[in-house]
Amino acid sequence: MRWADNVLITTKELAEQGMRPHEIRAQVAAGKLVQVRRSVYRVPEPEGAGDPAVEPDGRSANELEHLQLIEATLGRLRPGACLSHQSAALTHELPIPDKLLGPVHVTRPGSGGKVGSSLHLHRSSVPAEHVVDTARGPVTSLAWTVVDLARTLPPIHAVAAIDKALARGLDRAEAMELLDRQPVRGNVSARAVLRFADGRSESVGESHSRWLMHELGLPAPQLQVKLLTEDGEYVARPDFLWEDCRVVGEFDGMIKYGRLLKPGQDISEVILAEKRREEAIRRLGYWVIRWVWRDLDDRDAFRKLITRGRQLGARAGA
């Protein structure tokens, strides 16, 4: 029997098709089956079937793999268990970096958590009102998930996820109340992250930029401010604005340009339009500084970039 690509198959189903354990192992060794977790497999996509980094629905290959691991795990969960932490975040469509996905995160009542290669078990009693039934099974609510992330993720990644949650309607006060109801380790930093998060950030790169500025002690910018001509004509809504020195800051990621694409439009047209937009901003008397992902990887260089840009903007406007 020919199984569909990426459909999950159990050992029992393979056995029903006449495959013996040693034959299953041989299929795995040959790359014709991929073991998702114990007793669960999938058929990989044919080589060259698409971009291995980003799938058509915008999810990375690692995100899709984690979602499959979730699907393979749900049937083995005990009553009272629910998806949580990074796995819940992915289900709620919050951004989680591939390196932090790892095993499926599950929370259920009791004591004594456990971390395995495919399952990270957390022990806690999640109130019924904070368990949401989804197509992928029971998941912690958006507010509960955000509190878990604020406590356990590195702040720069927690901020990116919470920014997205706020943009999708998260009630910050509800999340703060949940945090205060559970006095455990990590609450102080989690509270700081929750306060800092801002739903106006429109990408992970913007969220990371804001957190780095905060950590480096740089002046906090205004976010998504509409810039108008003297006649009130709309010009732009930049990522960051330092009005005190007449500086506009823009995080540039190719995903950002992809979001701006209209049907039938080429990426070069979007880049040209972005250049014209920058010229219009400069005509208003603003200095424009731009940065990309690699700039965020070098904290000292990023500090210098922002500081120098602010100095140049102040001089140009003097």
Domains of the chain with bracketed CATH: 7-43 (no CATH), 61-199 (no CATH), 206-317 (3.40.960.10)
Q: Is the model more confident about 75 or about 64?
A: 64
Q: What's residue 55's pLDDT?
A: 39
What's the pLDDT at 266? 60
DSSP SS3 for 203 = coil
Residue 146 pLDDT exceeds 50: yes
Contact 310, 219 (CB under 8 A): yes
Q: Which residue has the higher pLDDT, 154 or 59?
A: 154
How high is the pLDDT of residue 49?
Answer: 38
pLDDT-based confidence at 54, cuts 50/70/90? Answer: very low
317 Cβ contact partners less than 8 Å away, ≥ 6 residues apart: 245, 246, 285, 287
Helix residue ranges per DSSP H, the chain? 11-16, 21-29, 61-74, 85-91, 142-152, 155-167, 172-181, 187-196, 204-215, 254-260, 267-283, 293-296, 299-317
pLDDT band at 51 (very low <50, low <70, confident <90, very high): very low
**pLDDT digit string (tens) for 88-106?**
999 999 999 989 998 999 9
Q: How would residue 110 be classed by pLDDT, with cut points 50, 70 and 90?
A: confident
Q: Which two tokens stand for residue 292?
A: 């990309």
Q: Would you say residue 143 has pLDDT above 80?
A: yes
* pLDDT band (50, 70, 90) for residue 52: very low
For residues 215-244, give the mean pLDDT: 96
Distances (CA, A) of 127 to 30, 102, 111, 130, 178: 46, 26, 16, 5, 11
